[in-house]
Amino acid sequence: MEKLSKLNTLLLGLQHVCVMYGGAVAVPLIVGPAIGLTQEQIIYLISFDLLACGIVTLLQVIGGKGFGIKLPALMAVSFIVVEPVIAIGSVHSITGVLGAVMVSGIIVAILSGVIGKLIPYFPPIVAGSVILIIGVSLMPVAMKNAAGGVGSPTFGDPMNLMLACFTLVSFLLLNTLTKGFLKAVSVLFAMILGTILAGILGMVDTSGFLEASWFTMVTPFYFGVPTFDLSSIITMTIISLIIAVESIGVFLTLGEVCGKEITEKDVEKGLRAEGIGSFISGIFNSFNHSTFSQNVGLVLLTKVTQRSVVVTAGCILIFLAFVPKVAGLTTMIPLPVLGGAMIPMFGMLLSAALGMIAKADLSKPSNQLTIALGIGVGLAVKGSRKHSINSGNSPINMWKRSGDGYNNTGCVKCHPEWKNKSIYYTPSFHTRNSTKHEPEY
């Protein structure tokens, strides 16, 4: 294996960061407004996310006694967590989310030794059906953002839709007509182009970037002491187990390209690192991580399998976490641009789910019934939950009308400086002339 110079290692590590950056920051950008965080809080959430990505990557790649796959696996927040995090955060605030993330990480770390043995009882058709439900549920989020964001006075404005279409077409052209590095970062470049056009049209608010400091000390439990709700913990544990099943496939792929035979013990160490990473991630105000498929594709493309490259990428992510100015740059991205970029990203989630389902013999009535019941009931429950929560007599709305809902469900009580801030304030920097509004549940 060719020895890389320090400069080449740095550039290759930076390339990994560029490949995952757009997807990594997209999760806090989606989740933040949906659970009512302010612009300042979202900037910090992005910094926390980058720090957690870097720490978990180092745990997985460098490893230690009993944990770490020790392959070039870059870790980032999984898109699979978006929908459950929004659902939990809308009711129990972000502290409820972080508590569930921490406990789910402990459970995965404890069960890592047996998860591999349970794979035959957790077939791809089941995991694929769950991921498909999540992907279908996320697509409306992309479309609402493309229209300008629910509650915005410009929601549905043709200019918003044009900007989203421009971003989507830019991605398709870059992804189709370019190769190598440019193809790998086509989503990021499409968002940059979309934001530039939005700036020309006067649809970008730079206040978040201008007000962000150049350096900050990342604070554990920034949003307050985590809270623990049983249903939230069960939800995030199920999501973590789905991520674990996906990770096993990634480990096997990386092992093949790196010329390393992956044993049950290796899988156990890799999943244990994911569990420990989720626990640490919860402490540092972030969510569950998975091995980023985009970066696995980059390893396959470049054939650069040295762990030092991904270790460098992890260190870069940690550095960026302490520079809020960088996080502030991402808050300049208007919602229509983000929506246009979300469409292909969430579409790939659907594609991956269908690929997992396709591994099963769909001619068998039992498999057909599994898909029918799993997806049918899942979508039915989601639809009924949304109707119930949005109805005027739902428990949540009655709770809010009682006067205590805002104090108990929001981030108001998570941090003393937020006493006079409503958690349902959605930042106006994403849309033109936008105003305060409650996110759609």
Each residue of 75-107: pLDDT tens digit?
A: 988 878 888 899 898 888 899 999 999 999 999
Question: Please, which pLDDT band fits residue 360 given cuts at 50, 70 and 90?
Answer: confident
Q: Is the pLDDT of residue 113 over 60?
A: yes
287 domain-assigned: yes
Q: Which residue has the higher pLDDT, 187 or 166?
A: 166
User: Which of 211-215, 286-290, 375-379, 419-423 is least confident?
Assistant: 419-423
Question: Please, which pLDDT band fits residue 237 given cuts at 50, 70 and 90?
Answer: very high
Average pLDDT of the chain? 76
Question: Please, which pLDDT band fits residue 119 given cuts at 50, 70 and 90?
Answer: low
335 domain-assigned: yes
160 domain-assigned: yes
Q: Which string of DSSP letters, residue by residue, matches 3-22?
A: PPPHHHHHHHHHHHHHHHHH
Among 51-60, 363-372, 405-414, name the most confident range: 51-60
Please indicate, yes or no, whether the overall pTM of this predicted structure exceeds 0.85: no
CA-nearest of 18, 128, 140, 167 to 82 is: 140
Each residue of 180-196: pLDDT tens digit?
A: 667 756 777 888 899 89
Q: Which helix (H) or strand (E) holds 290?
A: strand 289-291
Question: What is the per-residue pLDDT for 95?
Answer: 92
Q: Is the pLDDT of residue 386 over 60?
A: no
Q: Is the pLDDT of residue 276 over 70?
A: yes
Each residue of 35-80: pLDDT tens digit?
A: 888 877 887 888 888 999 999 999 999 988 889 988 988 898 887 8
120 domain-assigned: yes
Question: What is the per-residue pLDDT for 340?
Answer: 86
Q: Which string of DSSP letters, residue by residue, matches 68-113?
A: ---SS--EEE-GGGHHHHHHHHHHHHHHHHHHHHHHHHHHHHHHHH
Question: What is the per-residue pLDDT for 104?
Answer: 94
424 domain-assigned: no
Question: What is the per-residue pLDDT for 392?
Answer: 46
409 domain-assigned: no
Q: Is the pLDDT of residue 388 over 50?
A: no
The arithmetic mean of pLDDT across residues 374-392, rounded, is 62
Do residues 281 and 105 touch, judged by C-beta distance below 8 A? yes
Question: What is the per-residue pLDDT for 394?
Answer: 41
Each residue of 254-274: pLDDT tens digit?
A: 887 788 887 888 888 999 999
Give residue 80's domain range.
6-386
Buried b (16+ CB within 10 A) or exposed e, 70-108: bbbbbbbbbbbbbbbbbbbbbbbbbbbbbbbbbbbbbbb
Q: Which residue has the higher pLDDT, 214 or 124?
A: 214
Q: Is the pLDDT of residue 18 over 60?
A: yes
430 domain-assigned: no
| Sign of the torsion formed by the C-alpha atoms of 243, 71, 342 and 406 | positive
CA distances (Å), origin 178, targets 15, 181, 301, 304 = 16, 8, 14, 20
Q: Which residue has the higher pLDDT, 155 or 384?
A: 155
Q: Which string of DSSP letters, residue by residue, matches 305-325?
A: --HHHHHHHHHHHHHHHT-HH
Report the domain count for the chain. 1
Do residues 315 and 139 touch, judged by C-beta distance below 8 A? no
248 domain-assigned: yes
Each residue of 314-334: pLDDT tens digit?
A: 998 998 888 877 766 766 778
Instruction: State the Cα–Cα distance between residues 272 and 67, nearest whole angstrom.
Output: 6
The arithmetic mean of pLDDT across residues 147-176, rounded, is 86
